[in-house]
Chain A
């Protein structure tokens, strides 16, 4: 049963902008409503992350002059906007709204934020046991890569295949930040940031934003384009577990089976996947945990062109966070690209016969605490 439809999407195309965080969101919302064939007056549910100035739900509804009857500020890291789709579907199914708008905006690049290597301080109680050891986001993912190599013999060259796949796809995306092809050797020869992760194992830093419009199935006839169906979804968290954690198992091990079961499909039915790629290791562990391959076999699975267009499971066809854009919380772009693929709007990067797509967002850090959100999406 389809509880909700994704009716409109828009990705703000600039990678470095003079626009403000609020302008990015308003312009993206207008374009996503145009894509859906709807108007601001139709919006009665609103979703965005809480937190930074200019991106909290109160700041944005005020700026947009929007008076929704349902508001959700779920903030669980970069996966938040994937979770928002799930929450919008639940709100629609529960009669709390009929047209849900989800927005995101960030000016990380023009503000000079070093997303991956800055000191990671949350302002939370746990800082006093973590921040004093020089932690950064890249370091907390590097810990997982090192352990995976130890347990399963995974190599840097295998991780590099993920970066190579994303870069090839970025070459087909006119607005991607980096478009020149790279090789496995290029990744391995790029500067070591936090071993075993090299510079080209890490996502880019950009400005950016976007918007999604999720609607009640009853509205299907009023839309401008064939809507994408939400077939199944799930969310989960994984954390330090009081000091007893298997850090190689991510939240995706919980969300994958639940989302596939809800959708009534299996990994073999998925034509393409949008996997949060803060770092190459994020993708490898996520693919294992979602069930595309067995735990520990990710290193072999990602090679041989499998993740590239023409392979069995193309991922991140927009170029991903590794090559297209990463303003800090990338989840919304995963949904936008999956919707374009399911509508057949991928152009040079279109996956043939794309009927089922998977989206998985990761928020936070694999090395301490993170959230995961999975969507299984179907073509109209």
Chain B
């Protein structure tokens, strides 16, 4: 999609399953087959036991805002033309925190604890960006 001015993820083999899930509009959370730990951000090894026996499970994509900030000034590419925008930590119902944007609402209406669900923006033929929006 020409004209997407924000930073794009540099996908590596390590992270490819996560981004392929996003392309299908599925938010995947890793779980370790060896020790059972769930984790985000995704990586090639379990952050609890450092083994590489991980499975990718679809999240329900629902959670609550742990914290947020409405950004009024930034030099960040793409974002400086869309002020203000909301940066947030969202805690998924599966128990892991996700750094993200909250979109599809007035930034002034965002609160800690607000229930949100994942939404995907298809920005290139390969890449869809997960963001969160209030549950209506």
Contacts and interface: CB of A to CB of B under 8 A. Distances in A.
Contacts of A243: 38-41, 95-98
A320 B16 CA distance: 44
A194 to B, nearest CB: 5
Interface residues of B, number: 47
Contacts of A185: none
A227 B122 CA distance: 62
Interface string A11-41: 0000000000000000000000000000000
B51 interface: no
Contact of A147 (B66, B95, B99): B66
A165 B68 CA distance: 27
Contact of B99 (A129, A142, A197, A242): A129
B56 interface: no
Contacts of B89: 143, 247, 367
Nearest to B89: A143
A180 B113 CA distance: 40
Contacts of B12: 125, 128
A324 B95 CA distance: 42
Contacts of A266: none
B48 interface: yes
B37 interface: yes
Contacts of A142: 69, 71
Contact of A128 (B10, B101, B113): B10
Nearest to B75: A118
A183 to B, nearest CB: 22
Contacts of A146: 67-69, 112
B113 to A, nearest CB: 7
A135 interface: yes
A134 B6 contact: yes
A139 B87 contact: yes
Given A139-B69, A146-B112, A244 B96 contact: yes
Contacts of B87: 133-135, 139, 143, 194
B135 interface: no
A150 B113 contact: yes
Chain B facing A: main interface SS:
loop
B115 interface: no
Residue of B37, B48, B70, B99 contacting most chain A CB atoms (<10 Å): B99
Contacts of A139: 69, 71, 74, 87
Nearest to A130: B99
A194 B73 contact: yes
Contacts of B97: 240, 243-245
Contacts of A240: 41, 97
A58 interface: no
Contacts of B47: 241-242
Contacts of A135: 76, 87, 99
B75 A132 contact: no
Given A242-B96, A243-B39, A243-B97, A194 B85 contact: no
Contacts of A368: 99
Given A125-B14, A143-B68, A191-B72, A242 B39 contact: yes
B43 interface: yes
Nearest to B69: A142
A197 B87 CA distance: 14
Which 8 A/B pairs are nearest by Cβ-Cβ distance? A243-B96, A134-B79, A128-B9, A142-B69, A242-B47, A147-B67, A150-B112, A243-B40
30 contacts: A114-B75, A117-B75, A121-B7, A125-B15, A127-B10, A128-B11, A128-B15, A129-B15, A130-B99, A132-B9, A132-B129, A133-B99, A133-B101, A135-B87, A139-B74, A142-B71, A143-B69, A143-B89, A147-B67, A150-B113, A193-B73, A194-B70, A194-B74, A195-B71, A242-B39, A242-B40, A243-B41, A244-B97, A247-B89, A367-B89
Interface of B: 6-12, 14-15, 37-43, 47-48, 66-79, 85, 87-89, 95-101, 112-113, 129, 131
Given A117-B75, A243-B38, 17 more contacts: A119-B75, A127-B7, A128-B9, A129-B40, A142-B71, A146-B67, A146-B112, A147-B67, A147-B112, A191-B73, A192-B72, A194-B74, A196-B69, A240-B41, A243-B39, A244-B95, A247-B67
